[in-house]
C-alpha cells in the first residue's frame, strides 16, 4: 500500500512502532487479537488495527501539498478535512479557511470565492450541486480533491445499480457529509432514499408491505428521498449501499432484511428482479477497526477508552461496540483526562459532555482497552497513554515494554 508523506507530529515513537511490528508479522490481517502492553500496575490492550487509514493520510498529504504549491493564494476547504479536531486545527493554523461546517452551514459565502482560489474537497467527497457551483465560478476542483477511494467505490456501485434500474437504499446518517455526497451522486443514477438504522428500514418495509399509507410515508421520510421519488412505483426493485463508516453488521442486517422482505412479497424464484445482492461497501479501515474491536472485547478489561473526534461516525460505532460490554469513555485527547479520578467524556447518544469520577478502579493491576477511530493520529493516542501512565507509580518505561515484546 502507498506510503503517504504526512507530518511526523501525527506519528508516534511508541504506538506507531507497535502497529508497524504487527503489520510486518501479519500483513494479511488474519490475526485480530489485541496487543497486550504490560507496564506493571497498569496494562493496555490496544487493537490490531486503529487510527489513520488510507483515505485520511491521502487527504492530509494533499492538503499540505495544496498549501506548499500555492503561496499567497487563498485556500479553502469545503468543510472539515476529516472528523478530528487536532488535524483541522492544524489546517486552520496553516491559513486554510473552511467554507462550511459539517452540517453544511456557510462560513464563507459562494460569492466571496474567485476563480483563482484553491478549494480542497474533503475525504467525505461532496455533492454534484457543489461541484457544479465551484466549476461555474471557474475553480479547478479535481487537483486537490481528497475524496476517499472507498467513498468513490460506493458511488460506482450506486451507478451500477441505477443502470440496472434498481432504486438505491443508502444506509447512512442523512446529515453526514459523506451521506449527503453519496445521496447526491446516487440520485443522479437512480431514485434514492436514506435509512439511518433498522428501525427506519423496517418502516420503509411497512410501506412496501402495504402497512403504511402514502401520506405516512411522505411524513416519515421527508427530506430523505430524491426528487420525483414515487414509493408506489420505485420500491419494487432495490439495492443497498452504505455510508462507509457505519457498522458493517448493521448494514448487512438491513440488506438481509430487504432481501427477506422481497422474497416474502415476490417469492424466491426471481429475487434478483427485486433485490440486488450487492457486496458490502464499507471501507476496509472501518471494517478492520470494527473487527479489531471485536478482538479486543474477547479479552477481560476494566474499562475502555476510545479516542477520536466527537463528530466521527466510525469512532462512535467503536464506542457503541465497547460500551455494550464495559465502562467506555469517548474522548478527543488527553486533555479530557482531568485527574486520576476524573474524566470528561462525550455521550454521542445525546450529544452531551459528561464528567465521571472514579473512572479508574483501585486495584493492584488495572487493565484498559485503548483504541481510536480512523481519523485519529497515533500521537494523540500516545498522549492519552502517557497521561494514564502518569497516574501509576513505578510503571515500566516504554522502552522496557518494547524490549520485552521483542520490538526494537
Task: Write the CATH number for 359.
Answer: 3.40.1010.20
Is residue 196 a part of any domain in this protein? yes
Is residue 2 a part of any domain in this protein? no
Q: What interhelical angle do 54-69 and 149-163 show, nearest 10? A: 110
DSSP 76: E
Q: Are strands 303-307 and 328-331 parallel, antiparallel or unpaired?
A: parallel
Q: How many domains does the chain have?
A: 3
178 counts as catalytic: yes
Nine-digit cell at 362? 483501585
3-state SS assignment for residue 199: helix
- Tell me: do 159 and 245 sit in the same domain: yes
- Tell me: do 161 and 238 sit in the same domain: yes
| Strand ranges in 152-259 using DSSP code E only, listed in sequence order | 167-171, 192-195, 238-242
Domain that holds residue 66: 54-137
Choose the final residue of a domain: 241, 276, 311: 276
pLDDT tens for the chain, 408 residues long, are 566 788 888 888 899 889 889 988 888 888 999 999 999 999 999 999 888 888 888 999 999 999 999 999 999 999 877 778 888 899 999 999 999 988 888 999 999 999 999 999 999 999 999 999 999 999 999 999 999 988 999 999 999 999 999 999 999 999 999 999 999 999 999 999 999 999 999 999 999 999 999 999 999 999 999 999 999 999 999 999 999 888 888 898 999 999 999 999 999 998 999 999 876 666 677 778 888 899 999 999 999 999 999 988 889 989 999 999 999 999 999 999 999 999 999 999 999 999 999 999 999 999 999 999 888 999 999 999 999 999 999 999 999 999 999 986
Choose the final residue of a domain: 104, 137, 170: 137
- Tell me: do 79 and 177 sit in the same domain: no
- Tell me: do 258 and 212 sit in the same domain: yes
Q: Which of 57, 131, 178, 200 is catalytic?
A: 178
Is residue 143 a part of any domain in this protein? no
CA angle 37, 41, 45 (to 5 degrees): 25
Nine-digit cell at 191? 431514485
CATH number at residue 95: 3.40.50.11270
- Tell me: do 45 and 58 sit in the same domain: no
- Tell me: do 132 and 111 sit in the same domain: yes
The residue to which cell 450506486 is assigned = 158
Question: pTM, whole model, 2 decimals?
Answer: 0.84
Nine-digit cell at 76? 479553502
Choose the final residue of a domain: 84, 102, 137: 137
Is residue 142 a part of any domain in this protein? no
Amino acid at each position: 500500500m502507498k506510503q503517504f508523506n504526512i507530518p511526523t507530529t501525527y506519528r508516534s515513537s511508541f504506538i506507531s512502532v507497535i502497529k508497524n511490528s504487527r503489520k510486518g508479522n501479519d500483513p494479511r490481517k488474519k490475526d485480530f487479537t489485541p496487543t497486550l502492553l504490560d507496564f506493571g500496575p497498569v496494562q493496555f490492550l490496544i487493537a490490531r488495527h486503529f487510527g489513520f487509514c488510507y483515505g485520511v493520510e491521502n487527504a492530509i498529504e494533499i492538503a499540505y501539498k495544496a498549501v506548499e504549491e500555492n503561496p499567497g493564494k487563498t485556500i479553502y476547504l469545503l468543510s472539515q478535512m476529516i472528523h478530528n479536531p487536532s488535524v483541522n486545527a492544524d489546517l486552520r493554523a496553516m491559513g486554510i479557511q473552511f467554507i462550511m461546517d459539517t452540517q453544511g452551514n456557510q462560513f464563507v459565502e459562494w460569492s466571496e470565492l474567485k476563480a483563482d482560489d484553491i478549494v480542497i474537497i474533503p475525504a467525505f467527497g461532496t455533492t454534484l450541486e457543489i461541484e457544479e457551483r465551484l466549476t461555474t465560478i471557474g475553480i479547478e476542483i479535481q487537483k486537490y480533491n481528497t475524496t476517499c477511494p472507498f467513498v468513490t467505490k460506493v458511488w460506482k456501485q450506486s451507478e451500477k445499480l441505477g443502470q440496472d434500474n434498481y432504486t438505491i437504499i443508502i444506509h447512512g446518517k442523512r446529515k453526514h457529509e459523506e451521506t449527503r455526497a453519496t445521496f447526491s451522486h446516487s440520485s443522479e443514477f437512480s431514485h434514492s432514499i436514506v435509512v439511518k438504522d433498522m428501525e427506519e428500514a423496517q418502516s420503509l418495509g411497512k410501506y412496501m408491505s402495504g402497512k403504511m399509507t402514502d401520506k405516512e410515508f411522505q411524513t416519515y421520510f421527508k427530506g430523505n428521498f430524491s426528487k420525483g421519488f414515487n414509493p408506489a412505483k420505485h420500491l419494487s426493485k432495490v439495492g443497498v449501499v452504505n455510508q462507509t463508516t457505519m457498522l458493517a453488521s448493521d448494514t448487512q442486517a438491513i440488506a438481509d432484511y430487504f432481501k427477506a422482505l422481497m422474497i416474502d412479497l415476490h417469492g424466491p424464484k426471481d429475487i434478483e428482479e427485486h433485490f440486488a445482492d450487492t457486496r458490502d461497501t464499507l471501507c476496509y479501515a472501518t471494517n478492520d477497526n470494527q473487527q479489531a474491536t471485536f478482538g479486543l472485547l474477547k479479552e477481560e478489561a476494566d474499562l475502555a477508552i476510545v479516542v477520536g473526534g466527537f463528530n466521527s461516525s466510525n469512532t462512535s460505532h467503536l464506542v457503541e461496540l465497547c460500551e455494550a460490554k464495559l465502562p467506555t469513555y469517548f474522548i478527543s485527547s488527553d486533555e479530557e483526562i482531568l485527574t486520576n479520578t476524573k474524566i470528561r467524556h462525550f455521550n454521542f447518544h445525546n450529544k452531551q459532555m459528561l464528567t465521571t469520577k472514579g473512572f479508574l478502579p483501585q486495584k493492584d493491576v488495572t487493565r484498559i482497552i485503548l483504541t481510536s477511530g480512523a481519523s485519529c493520529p497515533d500521537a494523540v493516542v500516545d498522549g492519552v497513554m502517557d497521561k494514564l501512565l502518569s497516574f501509576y507509580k513505578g510503571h515500566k518505561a516504554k522502552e522496557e515494554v518494547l524490549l520485552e515484546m521483542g520490538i526494537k
